[in-house]
A and B are shown apart, each in its own frame.
Chain A
Amino acid sequence: MPMIVTVHSWGGGVGKTTAVANLGYLLARLGLRVGLVDAGLQAPGLHLACGVPDGQLRRGITGYLVGECGLDDILYDLGPLAGLGGGRGALHLAPGVVDMGAIARPALAGQYDTGLLHEGIRQMAVALDLDAVLVDTHSGVNHEAVHALAIADVCLTAARPDTRGLSGGPLMATISRRLSVPFALVLFTMVPPGMTNTALTGIALRRYESPMAGALPWAAELARGDHTGLFAAAFPEHPFTVALHDVANLLAGLRT
C-alpha cells in the first residue's frame, strides 16, 4: 500500500494546494510513483498548480463520487508536463473539475458516500502502482477532509505562522489525535523573512502538539501569480523549492 499524505489547513489560502503539487513533483523526482488527489471538492484547483488549464479537463473526482464516471476516466498523467524522465518516478493527478454542476451537486447536497474517496485512492494506487498519494483538501473541518485524515499515514497541517494560522492549531491537533493519524506534522507556509526555524518548531509543538515538517518561505513569484505550472520545476533553486525539497526527503524517509 502506498503512503497516504493528507495536506490540510484550518484557514484557506495558506498555500496548501501549491505545496501539494510541488511536493508531489519533488517526490517523483526522487524516484517515487506519486498520485495527487484533489479532494477540495468545493473549490478544486490542484490541476492549476500542476499547470493543467481549466478547459482541459472534462471529468473529475466529483463525477467519480456521484457515479457518473469511473476512475479511469479522470486520471491524468502529469509526467510529460512535469518533464519527468525515464526513471521510476511518476506523477498522476485525480483532478477536480471547475464546473458548476459537477461541484455544486455533491458539495452542497452531500449525497455521495465519502468512503468512495478512500476506495478511489486505493484503486488508483493499485492501478498506477503508486508509492505515495498526496491528498489536497478543502480548508476547515469538512467531510472529505476528515475522511482524508482518517485514512492518512501522514497528516501535514499547513499553516501560516500568523494569528489565524495559529488559532486553528488546537482543533487540528485534536482531530488528528482522535483519528489516530500515525504521523501528524506541521508545514508552515508563506513564512515571512526573519522567522527562524527554531521559533517555528516551538510554535508547532505548543500550538499543534506536533513536530514541524518544514517552513516554506514567502515567495513573491507565487504571490504575484505571473507564472503557471509547477513552481518547483520552473524555479529549482528557489528557497521555496529548497525548503519543500527537505520536506520531500523527510516524507520519503518516513516511507521506509
Chain B
Amino acid sequence: MAELSAVLVLRDRTSLETSQEDGHDLDEALRAARMRVVHALPDEVVKHLTGPDPPDLLLLPSSLGADRVGRYGMLLRRGNGDLLVPPAPEGDPSGRHQGRHTAVMVYLDGELADLEACVKHGYHYLVPPYRGSLIRTQLMCDVERHRLARVAEEAALAVSLRQYERELRIAQEIQEGFLPSDLPCAPGWEIDVRFRPARAVAGDFYDAFPLLQGRRLSIVVADVCDKGVGAALFMALIRTLLRHTAEHAGQWNLFDGLPPLEALARDVRQESPALVPGAAPLLQAMTGTNRYMTSNHQGYFATVFFGVLDPESGCLLYANGGHNPPLLRRVGGRLERLQVTGPAVGLHPDSEFRLAEVRLDPGDVLLAYTDGVTDSRDPEGEFYGEDRLSALVRGLAGTSLGLLDRVEADVQAHLRDGEQYDDITMLALRRLAGR
C-alpha cells in the first residue's frame, strides 16, 4: 500500500512540546502506522488542502469546536468539485489525483463535550490510547466509504442528467410536431423557412397552412416572450389557438361585437379589408387567442405576424400584433415594412387588431423574422440590427431559399464565436417572376 500522509492540526505551537499532550501520542501512533505526518496550525489548513499534494487524512483537534470543524469539512466537500482538488498534473500516470480524497477525523483534545459535538455532526473520531494499526484500519475504512459515496453521487447525477436530456429531447420532438411538417405550396409562389432555436426548445414558431379550401394561404411568424421550456409550452398553446381558430372561423359573429359594424364599413370609396375572404379567420384568430391568453394565462404574450395570401391576386391581408415589421422587398430592391397593426397577443384583454393589405407583385419577396435575427450580438456585444438586415435584403434578388441562406450566413458571420442568445426564425414568401 502506498504511503499515506496526514496533516495533524494542533491547537497551537506549544501543544506538541508539552510532551504528555494527546497530540504527541497521536503523532507517534501515526508514524507507527507508516504515515507521513505534517504539523499545521488551524489557519494553515487551507493551504495544505489546496496545495499540490493534499493529505489523505486531516486530523483536527476537538478543541476547535464543532463549528470550525464543520467549516473545514464543508470546505472539503465543496472542494470536491472546484475549490480544493487541484487539477491533475498533466501526464500524471499514477491517477493518484483522480479520486483523491482527504478524510477528516477529530481527535480528543481538551473537553470531551467538544468531541461529542463533533461526533454528533458525523465526524469520525480518535480517542486515546492511540495505536497505529487501529488508526490505519479506521482510516482505510473512511477513505473507502467516501469513495463509494462519491461514486453513488456521480451515478445519481449522471442518471438525472440523462433523464433531463431525454425529457428535453422529447420536448424537442413534441415541439417539432407543433411546426408544420410540410409547407403548403401554391403555383407561382415559393415559401421557405428557417428555424434555429437558441436552446433545445424555442419560444419562436412559424406556421403556414391553407385556408378557405385552399383559396387562401396563411403564414404566421411569432415570438413568445421568455425562452426555453416555458416559452415552448406557450408556443404550443398559441400556435394551436391561432391555427385552430383560423381554420374553424366562420362568419363574423355580429352579435359578439366582432367586428363592430363600423369595421365593415367602407372608408370613403375604399372597401373595408374586413370584407375580403380571410379577414374573418385572421381577425378571429388574433382576437380569440388574445382573449384566451389574457383571461387564462396572464403575463404570457407573443408578438405575432399573421398574413393571409390570395395566391391568385398576390394580395396579402395581414395583422401585425407587435411583431417586428416584416420586410417586403420589391422587385427593384425597394424595401417596405409591414408595420404593426395592434399590440402583442396576450397583453390586454381589449386589444384591437387592425387589418392591412399589401400586394406582392411578381418578383417581390417578403421576409418575416423574429428579433433573434436582429438582436444577435457579436462577441463585442454589437447587435446585428435592422440596418444590416435591410441592407442585405435590399441587395438580394434570388430565390426565397437563397435569401434565407444569405441572411443566416450573415448573422452567423456577425456572431462569430459568440453564443446565439435568442431563437432565430425566418419565413420568406416570394412571388415568382413572370406570374
Given A113, A114, A150, A175, which contacts B266 in the complex, CB threshold below 8 Å? A150
The answer to whether B212 touches A118, judged by C-beta atoms less than 8 angstroms apart, is no
Given known contacts A114-B280, A118-B275, A178-B265, A109 and B213 CB-to-CB distance under 8 angstroms:
no
User: Complex: how many Å from CA A75 to CA B265?
Assistant: 28
B-side contacts of A114, CB under 8 Å: 251-252, 280
**A116, B262: Cβ atoms under 8 Å?**
no
Judge if B272 is at the interface, Cβ distance under 8 Å: yes
Q: Indicate if the CB atoms of A67 and B275 lie closer than 8 Å.
A: no
Contacts known (A141-B254, A143-B252, A147-B275); A113 close to B265, Cβ less than 8 A: no
Q: Are A146 and B261 in contact (CB under 8 A)?
A: yes
Question: Taking the complex as formed, is A56 at the interface, i.e. its CB lies under 8 A from any CB of chain B?
Answer: no
Question: B279 at the A/B interface (Cβ < 8 Å)?
Answer: yes
Residues of chain A with a CB closer than 8 A to B262's CB: 178
In the bound complex, do residue B252 and residue A118 qualify as a contact, i.e. CB atoms below 8 Å apart?
no
Q: A119: which of B250, B265, B276 is its contact (CB, 8 Å)?
A: B276
Q: Which residues of B contact A143 (CB under 8 A)?
A: 251-252, 254
Per-residue CB contact flags for chain A residues 160-181 toward chain B (1 = under 8 Å, else 0) read: 0000000000000001001110
Contacting pair B250 A112 (CB below 8 A): yes
A118-B275, A151-B271 in contact; A67/B251 too (CB < 8 A)?
A: no
- List chain B residues, Cβ under 8 A from A116: 212, 215, 277
B residues in contact with A115, CB < 8 Å: 275-280
Q: Determine whether A101 belongs to the interface, using a CB cutoff of 8 Å to chain B.
A: no
Q: Which residue of B lies closest to A109 (CB)?
A: B250
A118 and B276 within 8 A (CB): yes
Q: Which residues of B contact A146 (CB under 8 A)?
A: 252, 254, 261, 264
Does B275 lie within 8 Å of A151, measured CB to CB? yes
Q: Which residues of A lie under 8 Å from residue B213 when comparing CB positions?
A: 66-67
Chain A interface size, under 10 / 10 to 19 / 20 to 34 / 35 or more: 20 to 34
**B251 with A179: CB separation less than 8 A:** no
Alpha-carbon separation in the docked complex, A118 to B251 (Å): 13
Q: Which of B266-300 contact A (CB under 8 A)?
A: 266, 271-272, 275-281
A113 to B252 alpha-carbon distance, docked (Å): 8
Q: Which of B214, B275, B278 contacts A150 (CB 8 A)?
A: B275
CB of B435 within 8 A of chain A? Answer: no
Query: Complex Cα distance A67/B216, Å?
Result: 12
Rounded to whole angstroms, the CA-CA distance of A113 and B261 in the bound complex is 16
Does the CB pair A113–B264 fall under 8 Å?
Answer: no
A109 to B271, CA, bound (A): 27
| Chain A neighbourhood of B266, CB < 8 A | 150, 179-180
Chain A residues positioned under 8 Å from B250 (CB to CB): 109-113
Interface size in chain B (residues, C-beta < 8 A): 24
Q: Would you call A150 and B264 a contact (CB within 8 A)?
A: yes
Contact with B along A76-116 (1 / 0, CB 8 A): 00000000000000000000000000000000011111111
- List, in ascending order, chain B residues with CB within 8 A of A151's CB: 271, 275
Give A123's nearest chain B residue, CB to CB. B312
Q: Does B150 contact A (CB under 8 A)?
A: no
Contact B261 A67 (CB under 8 A): no
Chain B 231-275, CB-CB to A under 8 Å as 1, else 0, gives 000000000000000001111101000000110111000011001
Residue of B nearest to A116 (CB): B277
B272 partner residues in chain A, CB cutoff 8 A: 150
Question: B277 contacts A111, CB within 8 Å?
Answer: no
Inter-chain contacts of A113 with B (CB < 8 A): 212, 249-251, 277-281
Contact residues in B for A110 (Cβ distance below 8 Å): 250-251
* Residues from chain A with Cβ under 8 Å of B248 in the complex: 111
B251 touches A178 (CB 8 A): no
Q: A113-B212, A113-B250, A143-B252 are in contact. Are A118 and B277 (CB under 8 A)?
A: yes
Chain A residue at minimum C-beta to C-beta distance from B276: A115
B246 to chain A, nearest CB (A): 10
Question: Which B residue sits closest to A115, measured CB to CB?
Answer: B277
Could you tell me the distance in whole angstroms from the C-beta of B424 to the nearest C-beta in chain A? 34
Contact flags (1/0) for A112-140 with B, using CB distance below 8 Å?
A: 11111011000000000000000000000
CA distance A178 to B254 in the complex (A): 13
User: In the complex, A106 Cα to B127 Cα: how many Å?
Assistant: 93
Chain B contacts for A111, CB-based, 8 A:
248, 250
Q: What are 21 A-B contacts with C-beta separation under 8 Å?
A: A67-B215, A112-B250, A113-B212, A113-B249, A113-B277, A113-B278, A114-B252, A118-B275, A118-B277, A119-B276, A146-B252, A146-B254, A146-B261, A146-B264, A147-B251, A147-B264, A150-B266, A178-B261, A179-B261, A179-B264, A179-B266
**Given pairs A143-B251, A150-B272, A180-B266, 14 additional interface contacts (CB within 8 A):** A66-B213, A113-B212, A113-B250, A113-B278, A113-B279, A115-B277, A115-B279, A116-B277, A146-B252, A146-B254, A150-B265, A150-B271, A150-B275, A179-B265
